[in-house]
Amino acid sequence: MNTFQRYILNKLLWYIAAFLVAASLNFFLPRLIPGNPVDTIVAQMAQSGGTEGEARRKIYQTYMREFGLDKPLLVQFGTYLSNLAHGNLGTSFGNYPAKVNNLIASSLPWTIALQLPAIIIGWILGNILGVLAAYRGGAFDRVAFVGSLALSNLPYYCLAVLLLYLFSVAIPIFPSFGGYNPGGTPNLSLTFMLDVIQHYTLPFLSLVLVLIGGQAVGMRSMAIYELSADYVGYMRGLGVGDGRVVRSIFRNAMLPQITGLALAIGSLVGGALLTEVVFSYPGIGSTLFTAIRQNDYPVVQGVTILVTVAVLGANFLIDIGYGLIDPRIRSAQRGER
Amino acid sequence: MDELLRVQNVRAAYAVGGREVQAVEEVSLTLREGEVLGLAGESGCGKSTLATILALATKPPLYVKSGQMVLEGKTIDLTLGAGLPRELRGQLISILPQGALNSLNPTARVRELAYDVLKAHRPTIQRSEAYELTRQRLEQLGLPARVLENYPHQLSGGMKQRVVTVISTLLNPKVLIADEPTSALDVSSQKAVVGLLKTLLERRVISSIVFIAHDLPLLREIADRIAIMYAGKIAEIGTNHEIIDAPKHPYTQALIGSILVPEPYVRQKRVEGIEGSPPDLRSPPSGCRFHPRCKYAMPKCSQTQPPEFGTPERFAACWLLEAVKS
Amino acid sequence: MNLFLRQLLSNGRFRFSLILILLLVGFAIIGPMVNHHNPLFAVGGRFDPPSSKALLGTDVIGNDVFVQLMYGIGTSLEIGVIAGAVATLIGVVIGTLAGFLGGTLDELLMGLTNVIITIPTIVILILLSVAVETRSLVTMGIIIGVTSWPWTARAVRAQTTSLRTREHVDVARISGVGTVSIILWEILPYMFSYIFMAFVLQLASGILNEAALSLLGLGPDNTISLGKMLQFAIQGEAVRTGAYWDFLPPTLLLALISFGLLLLQSSMDEVFNPRLRKV
Ligand SMILES: Nc1ncnc2c1ncn2[C@@H]1O[C@H](COP(=O)(O)OP(=O)(O)O)[C@@H](O)[C@H]1O
Ligand code: SF4
Ligand SMILES: [Mg+2]
């Protein structure tokens, strides 16, 4: 086995360990709730009067079958892991008999559509702002730096609340609720798309501003470090123009930021749950929020395991990336993180 | 020999933490066609600062407070600092930097820098043209053309320094300011770089070199004239022989004394022989800046600055010389 | 220490953030002392605007926003302090033991730390909060604390490793002083400022984590915190109703507290690690 394979195997074992820990927490913690969770939920359903005797028994049976609740706990855990391995997240309590997979599948695209562009655009703009602040210095730097610092330290849901109030209530430019007009049915017409974009703007802005701020602060200090490098002085000394010099700085300061981008994309699913809650935007966050309110544990567990798998997966890919680069570079860069 | 470049009354300071580091104080120099002017002195006496000013590459926190440069009949106001047209740099005067081992961008091939440099001065040049031009220049100077394709970490220290030398002179600048170009190299690489510089001069690629070093034996080999700097001022200037064999300033004498200790590898070492250390330039000593360390210091030395005794070509700034005259 | 104190106090940003935090703490302590209204007791109608009766108006069920704020800041700070203390305690114990003892134990403890760091904090937070029967203020603090110690552990371990080779530590070891005593007397005092700064960061993130959990509907039971105020405001549609007096105070205070604490930490860092801050 060569060094690279050993490195990857070692990493893989770590991530499997992390996954097992997360899966155990995911499985056992909700089981600490006193009483059989099925009893709890069935009792709740009876309270709200929604489900009749026959349906209730079916729920009971489904759940008993899925997790073998009459079997020993470890066997149940085995069943859970095997279900997970088959990509089966179980059945929702709250929306019985909907499959958790389907609930997540219908909300995940909204989250991705909201988060992925925000992360990528925030990353790009933040990097550009950071480099310019570092290179230009002076008043531009001070304004950009202080602004970015303030934005990135603002809890993202606070900014969401402020934007929601400012631009859909105080100055009603944008809709305040949902992912599209409640009356409309999703289709590909221009009117519907415009409607979707209108609903999209504020949640997107609330995320992208915070991301720009955070990225700019990080990139600025990286670029300041890069600016003091000898090659920058040399290029200037030979009369090379600002544009070309900034390009070199940008490229070099950018390389380490790619890790940050990959991590941000990995934490995309769980990264902005509250934005969706504030804007009542469809997506994983809203699904989770509803599930928590309804004690819909299978859905809660489905979301948490999804968030975990995405983050672990992204980390693992980054590690493979580092492994593919020269091992010396890898070890040096890992040390910095 | 004809005068090529003249700088007059250069004063410059770093603005740090609300205070000034007076790194260069009232320096005037001339440079003649075809010569190598050596500039020596201990670490921290302002050589690199003067080099940056001569190369027209100052930027904050370094501010030139006064001074002008006359080059090929053109007068350049040095106080403009970063406001000087960038086209002058590299074309008219070029720099061969201190610590040149890190002077190449680690993530760019050598040819990228060559292209950037050429493009900066000839906006219409094509990439292929730039590469070809650099390749020819490398080959003329006996360097392998393949280095164009290399990243810096693929080159040895000596090769890196030679490549940087070629890039610095790509535009045939009149003057090359070489700031300790060989300090970080082993002996054979030092020889190669010095040889390359001499070739460039012989072939008239460049007309003159200001060669900065903190050790004199190297300057004795390469320089025609030598200026000795102390605490931001020129303490003494003269021809190679005058400085090495008949130094007049106590500082020069101390420098030479500390070096002539017969040690085979002495040039690898820093100048250590003089007692004490250069002054803090945030508050330089009154009078002669050398007086706290000078064994000949007189009462007058700590009160009044010594003027330059002699001609602009051969002077020393020391009160001892006044006594000789009178 | 005195010297550090003087240096700290001569730092403008430190003074500013300290005063800010002290004002908030003072408000949270003195407020409930002079006011005897129950914050969870309605005093008016739905979203009454600010008036002399209710300084900051009322919320969706008629509670006095100003009174809630008095108690809410306190609750948030308390949860933050408990979370910070728990995280710092666990982090310091694990970090010093791993750093000082080294070897297999070090690898084991750091393995655990790294595994927990890789699992997203919000996941553990949600699962723990779902699992406990009732979420009292203390439970909340502990839950948040036990999920956020790994960063402190990592940093403390790094510090310990570098302190371990100091002369006075060797002297103590040779003269037969026990591990725990060495850690307590020869190592911890030398990174006190460091640990305190880590605590301040944990405190800030604890307060924000409380708010995040509350917004997901997992806030503390039977009490009011900034996070719960914001949650009530959002769920009660205060924002869309335009009842700015209800949602603005918790929003701004959360931002202000986290800003104040981060500023406090960074200004302390500036004083304690001057070299690090040149750029
Ligand atoms: N960027 C800077 N900021 C402040 N002071 C500087 C800076 N660079 C150099 N100096 C100071 O200027 C003086 C001259 O430095 P330098 O020109 O580098 O000397 P040399 O090249 O002869 O070693 C020294 O006292 C040094 O501390
Ligand atoms: S002027 Fe005085 S102090 Fe300065 S070098 Fe001459 S003798 Fe020494
Ligand atoms: Mg120098």
Q: Give a three-class secondary structure readout of chain A.
A: CCHHHHHHHHHHHHHHHHHHHHHHHHHHHHHCCCCCHHHHHHHHHHHHCCCCHHHHHHHHHHHHHHHCCCCCHHHHHHHHHHHHHCCCCCECCCCCCCEHHHHHHHHHHHHHHHHHHHHHHHHHHHHHHHHHHHHHCHHHHHHHHHHHHHHHHCCHHHHHHHHHHHHHHHCCCCCCCCCCCCCCCCCCCHHHHHHHHHHHHHHHHHHHHHHHHHHHHHHHHHHHHHHCCHHHHHHHHCCCCHHHHHHHHHHHHHHHHHHHHHHHHHCHHHHCHHHHHHHCCCCHHHHHHHHHHCCCHHHHHHHHHHHHHHHHHHHHHHHHHHHHCCHHHHHHHHHHC
Q: Give CA–CA dist C115/B219, Å, rounded.
A: 60
Confidence of residue C20 (pLDDT cuts 50, 70, 90): very high
Judged by CB atoms closer than 8 Å, whether chains meet at B91 and A229 is answered as: no
CATH number for region C2-37+57-272: 1.10.3720.10
User: Does any ligand 1 atom lie closer than 6 A to the CB of residue B44?
Assistant: yes
Tokens 């080099």 sit on residue: B51
Confidence of residue A52 (pLDDT cuts 50, 70, 90): low
Nearest to C46 by CA among C185, C207, C245: C245
Q: Is C20 on the interface with A (CB under 8 A)?
A: no
Provide the chain A residues 235-294 that lie in CB contact (below 8 A) with chain C: 267, 270, 273-274, 277-278, 288-289, 292-293
Query: What integer pLDDT is reported at residue A44 of this predicted model?
Result: 63
Greater pLDDT, A125 or C279: A125
Peptide bond into C120 cis (omega under 30): no
Q: What is the CATH number of the domain that holds B83?
A: 3.40.50.300
Token reading at A206: 């609330």
Is the ipTM above a cut-off of 0.85?
yes
Residue A330 has pLDDT above 60, yes or no: no
Greater pLDDT, A186 or A235: A235
Token reading at A223: 């670029």
Instruction: Kindly state the DSSP code that residue B285 receives in the 8-state scheme.
Output: P
Confidence of residue B267 (pLDDT cuts 50, 70, 90): very low
**Average pLDDT of span C76-90:** 96
Nearest to C99 by CA among C162, C38, C20, C53: C162
Residue B325 has pLDDT above 70, yes or no: no
Sheet containing B208-212: give its strands across: B93-96, B175-179, B208-212, B36-40, B225-230, B233-239, B314-316, B309-311
Query: What integer pLDDT is reported at residue A328 of this predicted model?
Result: 45
A224 CA to chain C: closest CA distance, Å? 7
A307 CA to chain C: closest CA distance, Å? 7
Is the dihedral angle over the CA atoms A204, A209, A210, A212 positive or is it negative? Answer: positive
Q: Which helix (H) or strand (E) element contains residue C207? A: helix C192-215
Confidence of residue A247 (pLDDT cuts 50, 70, 90): confident
Q: Is C273 on the interface with A (CB under 8 A)?
A: no
Query: What integer pLDDT is reported at residue A67 of this predicted model?
Result: 61
Residue B298, in any domain of the structure = no
Q: Whose CA is nearest to atom 6 of ligand 2?
A: B318
Q: Which domains does chain A possess?
A: 104-293 (1.10.3720)
> Which chains sit next to C, with 3 or more Cβ pairs under 8 A?
A
C and A touching (3 or more beta-carbon pairs closer than 8 Å): yes
Q: Is A238 on the interface with B (CB under 8 A)?
A: yes
Contact yes or no for A284/A269 (Cβ under 8 A): yes
Contact yes or no for C37/C10 (Cβ under 8 A): no
Distance (angstroms) between ligand 2 centre and the Cα of B309 equals 12
Classify each residue of C15-45 as buried b or exposed e, where b means 16 or more C-beta atoms within 10 Å of its C-beta. Answer: eebbebbeebeeebeebbeeeebebeeebbe
For A288, the closest chain C residue by CA position comes to C216
Peptide bond into A203 cis (omega under 30): no
Residues of B in contact with A258 (CB under 8 A): none
Residue A117 has pLDDT above 70, yes or no: yes
- Structural domain including B22 reads 3-107+151-247
Burial class (CB in 10 A: 0-12, 13-18, 19+), C272: middle
For C277, the closest chain A residue by CA position comes to A221
**Average pLDDT of span A241-259:** 83
**Average pLDDT of span C242-253:** 90
Average pLDDT, chain A: 83
| Residues sharing a CB contact under 8 Å with residue A162, sequence separation 6 or more, in sequence order | C251
Distance (angstroms) between ligand 3 centre and the Cα of C155 equals 37
Q: Give CA–CA dist B107/A78, Å, rounded.
A: 50
Residue B40, in any domain of the structure = yes
Proximal ligand: closest to the CA of B305: 2
What are the angstrom distances between the C-alpha of B88 and each of A237, B37, B68, B74, B235?
A: 10, 21, 14, 11, 29
Provide the chain A residues 19-38 that lie in CB contact (below 8 A) with chain C: 21-22, 25-26, 29-34
Residue A48 has pLDDT above 70, yes or no: no
User: Does any ligand 1 atom lie closer than 6 A to the CB of residue B312?
Assistant: no
Query: What integer pLDDT is reported at residue C221 of this predicted model?
Result: 87
Residues of A in contact with B102 (CB under 8 A): 229-231
**Three-state SS at C43:** coil
Query: What integer pLDDT is reported at residue B249 of this predicted model?
Result: 93
